[in-house]
A and B are shown apart, each in its own frame.
Chain A
Amino acid sequence: MTLEIVGLSVLWIFLFGYLIIGSIDFGAGFFNAYNTLTRRDHILTNIIERYLSPVWEVTNVFLVFFFVGIIGFFPKTAFYYGTTLLVPASIAIILLAIRGSYYAFAMYGSYGHKGYTFMYGLSGLFIPASLSIVLTISEGGFISMVNDHPVLDYWKLFTSPLTWSIVVLSIAALLYISAVFLTWYANKAGDQSATELLRKYSLIWALPTIITAGGIIFELRGHNPEHYARILDLWWVFGISFLMFVGTVWLILKRKNYGLAFGLLTGQFALAFFGYGISHYPYLLYPYLTIYDSFTNEAMAIALIVAFIAGLGLLLPSLYLLLRLFLFNKDYVRGNKDNHA
Chain B
Amino acid sequence: MGNEEAVFFSRVLTELTLSFHIIYATIGVGIPLMIMIAQWVGIKKNDEHYILLARRWARGFVITVAVGVVTGTAIGLQLSLLWPNFMELAGNVIALPLFMETFAFFFEAIFLGIYLYTWDRFENQKKHLLLLIPVAVGASFSAVFITIVNAFMNAPQGFDLVDGELININPLLAMFNPAMPTKVAHVVVTAYMTAAFVLASIAAYRLLRGSNHVYHKKALFLTMKLGLIFSIATAIIGDFSGKYLAEYQPEKLAAAEWHFETEENASLVMYGVLDDGEVKYAIKIPYALSILAHGDPFSEVKGLDQVPDDEEPPLYIHYLFDMMVTIGMWLAFLSAVYVFAVWRKWSIVQTKWFRWLLVASGPLAVLAIEFGWWLAEVGRQPWILRKIMRVEDAATTSGQVDLMLVLFAGLYLILGVGSVVILRRMFKKNPVEQEIEDRRKEKGGDFV
- A binding-site residues for B, Cβ under 8 Å: 53-55, 57-58, 60-61, 63-65, 67-69, 71-73, 75-76, 78-79, 81-87, 89-91, 93-94, 96-98, 100-101, 103-105, 107-110, 149, 296-297, 299-300, 303-304, 307-308, 311, 314-315, 318-319, 321-322, 325-326, 332, 337-341
Contact = CB atoms under 8 A, between A and B. Distances in A.
Contacts of B78: 90, 93
A93 B77 contact: yes
Nearest to B98: A68
Contacts of B82: 82, 86
Given A87-B398, A322-B114, A340-B119, 14 more contacts: A57-B109, A75-B92, A79-B88, A82-B80, A83-B84, A87-B400, A94-B407, A94-B408, A108-B59, A108-B62, A109-B425, A314-B107, A322-B113, A341-B62
Contacts, number: 232
A332 B120 CA distance: 12
A88 B350 CA distance: 55
Given A90-B408, A303-B171, A325 B118 contact: yes
A64 B87 contact: no
B100 A311 contact: yes
Contacts of A85: 81
B431 interface: no
Interface in B83-101: 83-85, 87-93, 95-96, 98-101
Interface residues of B, number: 80
Contacts of B110: 58, 315, 318-319, 321-322
B85 to A, nearest CB: 7
B400 A71 contact: no
**Interface core residue of A61, A67, A73, A96 (most chain B CB under 10 Å):** A61
Contacts of B287: none
Interface stretch (B179-187, B193-201, B256-264, B415-423): B415-423
Interface of B: 55, 58-59, 62-63, 65-67, 69-74, 76-78, 80-85, 87-93, 95-96, 98-103, 105-107, 109-121, 134, 166-167, 169-172, 396-398, 400-401, 403-404, 407-408, 411, 414-415, 418-419, 421-423, 425-426
Contacts of B113: 53-55, 57-58, 322, 326
Contacts of B96: 72, 300, 303-304, 307
Nearest to B105: A61
A307 B362 CA distance: 37
Most buried by A among B67, B95, B113, B411: B95
